[in-house]
Structure 1
Amino acid sequence: MQFRTRAIHVGNKKCPETGAVVPPLHLASTFVQPAAGEWGEYDYSRSGNPTRSGFEATLASLEGGTGALAFASGMAAIHCVVASLNSGDHIVAGSDIYGGTYRLLHKVANRAGIEV
């Protein structure tokens, strides 16, 4: 499938209830669970929802990857990367970066033993 075709089709599933082929925006913050103590695919929109899952699938396909993660902000994405590092790891970053990123790297990461 060509890039342009994947850009509009990947991650889009026909809605079984309406037949719509354009994915809806799911604005719900919470989702019903199958039963007490049982978890469905989605529980709370901050951890995932059908709209974001479709976007991530499309992005992964367009980039030729096996998966993708979408975040609400650049700082959330950067924090996720920093949180995945261990003491003794190194981050290379320029000195002329966004102030929030600078503080995250030089205060939080340094305290965790990550060299910047």
Structure 2
Amino acid sequence: MTIATNTEALNASALSTRAIHAGQEPDPTTGAVVTPIYMTSTFKQDGVGGLRNGYDYSRSINPTRNSFDAQLAAVEGAKYALSFASGLAAIDV
């Protein structure tokens, strides 16, 4: 188990450690150890209504935002965090 997925160890870590390691898992396809910035607007779907790994349109969610949300939650000591493409989107939540 890595520090990024071990929530108890991560929560006990210093702020700088949480900021660096939270949400950082090696990419299973490329082996990249730092989450890349995904510039993709849409993702391949497995069929009508069948999302691949939960992604459909990049403005709603993408791997980069998932990583950022995990990092933000760890830094704030929260279980979850949400980020939005614009300030107006946050109003609807």
- Shorter-normalised TM-score: what interval? 0.7 to 0.9
Among 2, 7, 12, which residue is 2:24 paired with?
12
Q: For residues 41-93 of structure 1, what are the alpha-carbon distances to aligned partners after superposition, in whole Å with 9 as ceiling and x for unaligned?
A: 1001121000001100110111011111111233332x225xxxxxxxxxxxx
Count of aligned residue pairs for this structure pair: 80
What is the correspondence of 1:31-42 to structure 2 with a 5 Å cutoff?
31-40=43-52, 41-42=54-55
Q: Give, as a single letter, the amino acid of the residue that structure 2 aligns with 1:36.
A: V
**Structure 1: tracts of 5 or more residues without a match:** 82-116
| Structural RMSD (CA) | 1.5
Counterparts in 2 of 1:39 and 1:17: CA distance versus 1, 3 Å: closer
Alpha-carbon distance between aligned partners in 2 of 1:12 and 1:25, rounded to the nearest angstrom:
13
Q: Which residue of 2 aligns with 1:43?
A: 56
Q: CA deviation at 1:15?
A: 1.4
**Structure 2: tracts of 5 or more residues without a match:** 1-12
Larger radius of gyration: 1
Richer in strand (by share): 2
Q: For residues 86-115 of structure 1, what are the alpha-carbon distances to aligned partners after superposition, in whole Å with 9 as ceiling and x for unaligned?
A: xxxxxxxxxxxxxxxxxxxxxxxxxxxxxx
Q: For residues 16-40 of structure 1, what are the alpha-carbon distances to aligned partners after superposition, in whole Å with 9 as ceiling and x for unaligned?
A: 2222211100111100112334223
What is the correspondence of 1:95-110 to structure 2 with a 5 Å cutoff?
none
TM-score (norm 2): 0.75
TM-score (norm 1): 0.62
Q: Which residue of 2 aligns with 1:55?
A: 68
